[in-house]
A = this chain, B = another copy of it.
Amino acid sequence: MTTDQKKAEKKVDRRVKYSKMVIKNSFIKLLKEKPIAKITIKEICALADVNRTTFYAHYIDQYDLLHQIESDLVDDVKDYLANYNPNAFDSTTAEMLEKILEYIKANAVLVDLLLNANGDISFEQDIIMILARLELLPTVIGEDMDKEDARYAFLFFANGCIGVIKQWLKDGMKKPTQDTARLIYDLITKGQEKFFPR
């Protein structure tokens, strides 16, 4: 269930729901062809068969539209992971990672588009904040360690995850989610030792 549908459960006018939907779909279609800077509001509306005035009723510009799409996706991920709440870094972290990868796989086209091709840096930051909020990564819990180093370590792991996921998407997600999750887990816990065991 998407965020749009959830909001719609309240009392959003069907017309608004439809307009936003066709606008988003058209925009995403265009985003597959060219960078956002080359996409005009006029052509989004033409493709969506919607009046330009309608666009301005809901969005400021293309970038606002992009951010709303990204924001919806972020909310959706949060809902998807709402059930899981590991408060420590134990064996369930690998499962959590797998869960995330499964979600990404289910929304691969969009995520790949936003993360690899035509997204922006703020989207990556949002994803990293999700990871931070989930306390999925261990480094925030350390007590006797340097606070600053812990933050750096977290960012190292989080950005590492994103990097692997981006390539995984580019590779068409050939590698099973479970294996990929395991690989990421090992990289976090053991670093290169996994590859050069002593």
A contact residues vs B (CB 8 Å cutoff): 35, 37, 63, 89, 116, 119-121, 128, 138-139, 142, 145, 148-153, 155-164, 166-168, 171, 175, 180, 183-184, 187-196
Do A145 and B191 have beta carbons less than 8 Å apart? no
Identical chains in the assembly: 2
Q: Are A152 and B139 in contact (CB under 8 A)?
A: no
| Besides A152-B180, A155-B167, A160-B160, 20 other A-B contacts (C-beta < 8 A) | A37-B63, A119-B121, A128-B163, A138-B196, A139-B192, A152-B168, A153-B192, A153-B194, A155-B166, A156-B163, A156-B187, A157-B160, A157-B187, A159-B159, A159-B160, A159-B164, A188-B192, A189-B191, A190-B190, A190-B191
CB-based closest 5 A-B pairs: A159-B163, A191-B191, A160-B160, A156-B160, A155-B163
Contacts A37-B37, A37-B63, A159-B159: A167 and B192 contacting too (C-beta < 8 A)?
A: no
CB distance from A96 to the nearest CB of B (A): 15
Measured between alpha carbons, how far is A156 from B160 in the docked complex, in Å? 4
- What residues of chain B lie closer than 8 Å to A191, measured between beta carbons? 187-193
Known: A163-B156, A167-B152. Is A145-B193 also a contact (CB below 8 A)? no
Identify 5 residue pairs between A and B in the complex whose beta-carbon atoms are under 8 Å apart, listed by A's number. A128-B163, A152-B183, A153-B187, A156-B161, A159-B160
